[in-house]
């Protein structure tokens, strides 16, 4: 059967959109919570779009602060119209926390990275595209029940359910060829296409970033001066 260019042309954007959607989903990665402890001076310089102060650590005692507080060099300014503040000591540790996405650098050192199964991602996109393209074409050229084949993944199964059963014509003479051979082959093709499209989608999902993690950096450690020496604050 010759390929109709008037159908293929509008079909290509649909295939490109489906592939682009899979790639876009593959690029999405979850954020990871990052906590760092700084000296008051260092905390006042931290980008508050990334990390917000959550607690003051003084002589081993952790005191949470309300949301919206900000750190100045020698005091913690609390949120609210009254602009209340709490004085800070140079020996205090300021615990700051926030959710960062892969690719972002972390104040104090380090960055967030994501890991994924590249083989599953690429294989899933290829399998899905090769399985979906033929059914999408048939669905585009059909003006009847087969038009449902343009629906990805579910299309072949919907078409299979809606197809009427093949009933061989009554004949006293055995026919040399099974009259339902074409219908049987069509049903097998629908099952294969639906299974491969589903497999491609599953592989693509498996290829999505599995986890985000913090790499390098100082693991959120702050060394601050203390009477008689220094104090080490951090979360491990």
Q: Which tens digits make up the pLDDT trace of 132-187?
A: 999 988 888 887 778 888 888 999 999 998 888 887 777 666 666 777 888 889 89
The DSSP annotation for 46-78 comes to S-TTT-EEEEEEETTEEEE--TT-EE-SSEEEP
Cα radius of gyration (the chain) = 31
What's the pLDDT tens digit per position in 182-201?
A: 888 989 999 999 999 999 99
Residue-level pLDDT at 210:
63
Give the per-residue pLDDT at 51: 93
- The runs of H, that is alpha helices, within the chain are 5-27, 40-43, 118-141, 155-162, 181-206
Q: What is the pLDDT of residue 5?
A: 44
The per-residue b/e assignment along 51-75, b for 16 or more CB within 10 angstroms, e otherwise, is bbbbbbbeeeeeeebeeebbbeeee
pLDDT for 119: 83
pTM of structure: 0.50
Residue 24 to residues 12, 19, 29, 33, 208, Cα–Cα distance (Å): 18, 9, 10, 23, 10
Predicted pLDDT at 172:
67
Q: Which residues of the chain have pLDDT under 50?
A: 1-9, 219-236
């Amino acid at each position: 059967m010759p390929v109709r260019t008037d159908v293929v042309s509008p079909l290509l954007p649909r295939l490109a959109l489906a592939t682009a959607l899979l790639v876009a989903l593959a690029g999405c990665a979850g954020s990871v919570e990052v906590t760092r402890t700084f000296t008051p001076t260092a905390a006042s310089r931290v980008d508050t779009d990334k990390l917000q102060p959550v607690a003051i650590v003084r002589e081993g005692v952790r005191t949470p602060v309300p949301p919206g507080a900000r750190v100045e060099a020698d005091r913690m300014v609390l949120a609210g119209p009254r602009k209340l503040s709490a004085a800070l000591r140079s020996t205090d540790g300021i615990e700051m926390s926030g959710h960062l996405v892969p690719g972002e650098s972390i104040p104090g050192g380090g960055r967030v990275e994501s890991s994924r199964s590249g083989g599953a991602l690429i294989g899933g996109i290829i399998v899905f595209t090769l399985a979906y393209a033929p059914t999408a074409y048939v669905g585009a050229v059909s003006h009847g029940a087969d038009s449902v084949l343009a629906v990805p993944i579910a299309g072949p199964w919907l078409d299979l359910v809606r197809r009427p059963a093949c009933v061989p014509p009554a004949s006293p003479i055995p026919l040399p060829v099974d009259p339902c051979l074409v219908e049987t082959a069509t049903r097998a093709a629908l099952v294969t296409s639906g299974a491969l499209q589903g497999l491609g989608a599953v592989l693509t999902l498996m290829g999505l970033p599995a986890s985000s993690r913090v790499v390098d950096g100082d693991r959120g450690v702050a060394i601050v001066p203390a009477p008689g020496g220094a104090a080490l604050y951090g979360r491990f």
